[in-house]
Amino acid sequence: MIAALVPAAGLSARMGRPKLLLDVHGQPLIQRVIRALKNGGADRVLVIAPPIHQEGSIRIQELAADAGAETTHLVAPTVDMRSTIEAGLLLVTGEFEPPSGVLIAPGDSVGMTSGLVAAVVRQFLTDPSRIIVPEREGRRGHPLALPWTVAMAIRNLPRNVGVNALLSAPEARVDRLLVAFPDLDADLDTPEDYRRWSGA
């Protein structure tokens, strides 16, 4: 099984409103990301949403369910994306049988497509002991594919160290997958980003 974690607990401070609820080409951003993951080969998608009292949190859960994903709400805001991912891993850990791999894609990964996800999943399944990182012209994108044992090691990283530290660890086995998707690293942070993607 391939599980996908979608960290979706940010404050959208630069956007000025909950960005995962914004319409992008006819669907809310959070659903666009979930559907890209599911159509690309993720068997299960878990959205890690903000605390219930945070603006937009309940709506994220409703939209995620409509797109076929599960949601867990943080009890309190996390300090960074790594902490949000760890909360998602705790949920997956309760499974009877852990997944063979974990895809990680932030909720604002607007440039991620099902074709890109499928390419990453295909490469990962050829050797599920390796980390798969999609790249184009030296730019890394999402989703990142991690073997389950590597994903669980996120919890043991030193404080204030992000998930990307896994890629440079001496024991890391990393495949850098060259892809042709031009927006593999695009996200939606600012009103200018949204104008680009909404065509406004």
Q: What is the pLDDT along the chain (200 residues), one digit of tens a residue?
A: 999 999 998 877 788 888 999 999 999 999 999 999 999 999 999 999 999 999 999 999 999 999 999 999 988 887 788 888 988 888 777 765 788 999 999 999 999 999 999 999 999 999 999 999 999 999 999 999 999 999 988 888 887 888 888 888 777 899 999 999 999 999 999 999 999 998 64
pLDDT of 13 reads: 77
Residues 6+ apart with CB under 8 A from 161: 82
Would you tell me how many other CB atoms lie within 10 Å of the CB of residue 123? 17
CATH classification (class only), 2-198: alpha beta
Distances in Å between the Cα of 91 and the Cα atoms of 53, 88, 152, 163, 199 are 20, 5, 12, 18, 37
For residues 113 and 30, what is the distance between their CA atoms, to the nearest angstrom?
A: 13
Tokens for 94, please give them.
């309760």
Domain residue extents for the chain: 2-198
What six digits make up the tokens of 23?
Answer: 């319409």
* Nearest partner of 104 among 134, 65, 138, 75, judged by Cα: 134
Q: Supply the pLDDT for residue 121.
A: 98
DSSP for 123-168, written as a single string: HHHH-TTSEEEEEETTEE-S-EEEEHHHHHGGGGSPTT--TTHHHH
